[in-house]
Amino acid sequence: MSIELNVEVREDLGKGASRRLRHQNMVPCIIYGGDKEPSNIMIRHNVVAKQLENELFYTQVMTLKVGKTAEKVVLRDIQHHPIKQQVLHMDFLRIDPKSTMHVHIPLHFINEETAPGVKAGGKINHVMIEMEVVCLPKDIPEFIEVDMGALEMDQSIHLSDIKLPKGVECVALSHGEEHDTAIAAIHAVRGQSEEVETGAPVAPSNEPED
pLDDT at 16 over 90: no
Last residue of some domain: 48, 79, 94?
A: 94
- Please state, in angstroms and rounded to a whole number, the distance separating the CA atoms of residues 17 and 71: 24
For 14, residues 6+ apart whose C-beta sits below 8 A from its C-beta are none
Range list of β-strands (E), the chain: 3-9, 26-32, 39-44, 62-66, 69-80, 87-94, 101-110, 122-126, 130-135, 144-147, 156-158, 169-170, 182-188
Same domain, 132 and 85: no
Same domain, 129 and 160: yes
Position 1 scores a pLDDT of 60
What is the mean predicted confidence (pLDDT) over 36-51? 93
Same domain, 70 and 146: no
Q: What is the CATH number of the domain that holds 116?
A: 2.170.120.20
Same domain, 145 and 106: yes
Q: Domain range spanning residue 12?
A: 3-94
Q: In this predicted model, what pLDDT tens digit does every residue of 100-135 receive, in sequence order?
A: 999 999 999 999 999 999 999 999 999 999 999 999
Last residue of some domain: 94, 114, 130?
A: 94
Q: Give yes or no for a contact between 42 and 74, defined as CB atoms under 8 angstroms apart.
A: no
Same domain, 106 and 78: no
Work out how many domains the chain is built from and give that number: 2
Same domain, 90 and 61: yes
Position 192 scores a pLDDT of 55
Q: What is the CATH number of the domain that holds 62?
A: 2.40.240.10
Tell whether pTM > 0.85.
Answer: no
Position 79 scores a pLDDT of 94
